[in-house]
Chains A and B, each alone.
Chain A
Amino acid sequence: MNYAKAMKSCAIALGAAAMATVAMAEDGPIKVGVILPMSGGSAYVGEGIFTGVELAVKQVNEAGGVLGRPLEILLRDEQLRPDVSTAAMRELITLEGVQHFIGPATSATSLANSQIAREEKVVNISPSAKTEALTAGENLHDYIFQLAPTTDVDGVRTVEVLKGIGTESICFTGFDYAYTHDWFAAVRANMGDIREAGAFLVPMNATDFSATITQLLSADCDTVIGTQFGGSFIAFIKQATPFGLFDSKTVLWGSNTGDHAVAAALGAELPAGLWASAADVWYYEGLESHAAYQEALADFQGRKETDMWPITGYNAVKFLAAAIDTAGTTDPTEVAAALDGLTIQTPLGEITIDPETNRANSPEFYGRFEPQDGSNAARMTDLRLVR
């Protein structure tokens, strides 16, 4: 039996005096467990999401908190290891009494933590994991909510963009792991008469892509889509550019490589004409709410050109706060119920969590990188916010 529930039934049984004690206990801040990669090669993702979490919590608390109580963040490093991320979650549940979680960031850790969430009946909002498996089949349960568009959604959206570009034949490349396989499967399922001219995968942790680049160059396709991310994406770009890959093929990349952080890191080395996607870009000007968010974020981070990850953490907190507000209690079962079908206003417009699938219809940006006058970092043009 759940600890909080036990407390509650106790309270009811013991009457008013006990109720007062519980009320006292519930006056404190609402603890939010945040489990993200904070060390190693993916730390920038964790730090980005965490920035968004901090900003949203600051805003919520400044506006008087939720149910009159402030939110309190408890951060743990998942180290991209499921054993570590689950241990952190259990620690927060059993030691700190946390009942609401945001994170972890990756598919493997999210899948693992979701099992704990199911068992412990605590709310678990996954801000960034894209794997279908997280909320599909047996893995779907009442307490897990997936905000990022899944690979299936990405597949549909990618094909839409490809058709817009005029792609006729396509090559696939990327790390040989779950996300790549899932996304490619979704693209293949939707690509209709676009012809596949080969898939050239590299082992996980590979640092050299020259063999695949050579294969891609000689393959009979007009478009290449790929999945390397973070540092590996940067390495791929730097190795592929002198080979002329970006001159001879149209290239579209997944894995949120439209992130401004990537463009800033690569600077002039980011090839013009590369298609990419991102959960957010600071220079998007289509929505008032987005402008307001960016202003707040720029203020918070002390720089105008912000990255894409904060919005995922930001929206996760806003969903959680709205759900607790709607439920009128922090009881995780009721909060989870409130999240079903919940619609909130986000910087990128209305987002709803589907009550059946527990997935949010978060939009993403797709666009084509072009160098900017007066700035070192390229920006996506032809920017479209795909819902």
Chain B
Amino acid sequence: MFANPMILFIQVMNSFSLAMNLFIIAAGLTLIFGVLRIVNFAHGAFYMVGAYLALSILGVTGNSNLGFVLGVLGAGAAMGAMAFVVERVLLSQLYDKEHMLQLLFTFALVLVIKDVVKMIWGSGQYSISAPPFLRGAVNLGISPYPKYALFLCIAGPIIAVAIWFFMERTRWGRILRAAREDRVMLNALGTDVKLVYSGVFVAGAALAAMGGALAAPRSAVDPGMDALVIIDAFIIVIIGGLGSLLGSFIGALILGFLTVMGSIYLQEWAIVASYVMMVVILLVRPWGLFGKPDEERH
């Protein structure tokens, strides 16, 4: 069936662009877990809000290139601002409580956010189209390929590198890494831990929202969009290793390829492919591909 290497090449491209789409969504989730140690169920809801915010911004700016950029950035900024309020007023009260309470809180947040979205935008479907410069296809020599998918293939690595640069090469990044390793030490260093936590939660939420805005031109903006994506984001973060950016990147690639190739070669059993993969990876490496084991016996 796949004797044709050109079709296979296109499928590889498809896998990669899906992987990058997924990575952009998962990056914020892994960031929040890495520093705050919170499994954020509301991540999908933030993603959805991002898409709706971009929709509203584009409603004002019109469907221009600039409008699209503003839509993506504006969605991130607005979501970040809301996340700041939520973190300061509510979530911050739970940091020294049991992990499970934080989980319960983010779950409750999902319920609230989904209904608020429904109140504001209704339950109908909307669509955001790709900005004019990313509409249509480019000819890859063998076949047309959507410009927007190609754009995601480039945007994903850029975002990955940007986060990496921020984490590894800036002062703020060093503080964040310190926070990931040791909260007590961070306090001793005199850095305001509160600020770091707020910053991380805001950044994670903003990334989710921008992920929603960036994914919108390939999907619908509707009240079900969060449910479809959250489980994929979780799979990526878990198999990559919680808190590991590189792990999420690799995890996204694995899931992207598995989804595309699975639907071709596994066909009707593709539905369980990602879960089988997750089981296998966790059994071989219980802390994920790039996570750190908690302890060792050997």
Q: How far is the CA of A282 from the CA of B259 in the complex (A)?
A: 39
Name the one of B21, B125, B270, B271 contacting A230, with C-beta atoms under 8 angstroms: B125
Closest to B222 in A: A231
Is A202 an interface residue when CB atoms closer than 8 A count as contact? yes
Question: How many residues of B sit at the interface, in one of the four size bands?
Answer: 35 or more
Which residues of the partner chain A approach B261 to less than 8 Å between Cβ atoms?
A: 211
Are A231 and B219 within 8 A (Cβ)?
yes
Query: Is A96 in the interface zone, CB < 8 Å from B?
Result: no
Inside 8 A of A201's CB, which chain B residues have their CB? 263, 267-268
- The answer to whether the Cβ of A244 comes within 8 Å of any Cβ in the partner chain is yes
Question: Which of B7, B124, B145, B223 sits near A40, CB closer than 8 Å?
Answer: B223
Chain A residues with CB under 8 Å of chain B are: 38-44, 46-47, 176, 200-208, 210-212, 214-215, 217-218, 230-235, 238-239, 242-244, 261-262, 265-269
Shortest distance between the CB of A172 and any CB in chain B (Å): 13
The CA-CA distance from A46 to B124 in the complex, in Å, is 10
Chain B residues engaging chain A, CB cutoff 8 angstroms = 4, 7, 10-11, 14-15, 17-18, 21, 114-115, 118, 123-127, 129, 135-137, 143-149, 217-225, 227-229, 232, 259-261, 263-264, 267-268, 270-271
Q: Can you give 8 A-B contacts (C-beta < 8 A)?
A: A176-B268, A207-B219, A208-B218, A231-B220, A231-B221, A234-B219, A261-B124, A262-B125
Which of A231, A244, A265, A267 neighbours the largest number of chain B CB atoms within 10 Å of its CB? A231
How far apart are the CA atoms of A262 and B217 in the complex, in Å? 15
Asked if A39 and B223 sit within 8 Å, CB to CB, the answer is yes
Q: Is the CB of B11 within 8 A of A41?
A: no
- Measured in the bound complex, the distance between the Cα atoms of B10 and A203 in whole Å is 20
B146–A239 CB distance below 8 A: yes
A210 to B18, CA, bound (A): 9
5 shortest interchain CB distances as A-B pairs: A41-B224, A242-B146, A43-B123, A231-B220, A234-B220
Q: State in angstroms the CA–CA spacing of A262 and B222 once bound together.
A: 12
Q: Is the CB of A265 within 8 A of B220?
A: yes
B224 touches A242 (CB 8 A): no
Partner of A267, one of B127, B264, B270: B127
Chain A residues closer than 8 Å to B146, beta-carbon distance: 239, 242-243
Residues of B within 8 A of A238 (CB): 127, 129, 217-220
Contact indicator A265/B137 (Cβ below 8 Å): no
Looking at B144, B148, B263, the one whose CB has the most chain A CB atoms below 10 A away is B263
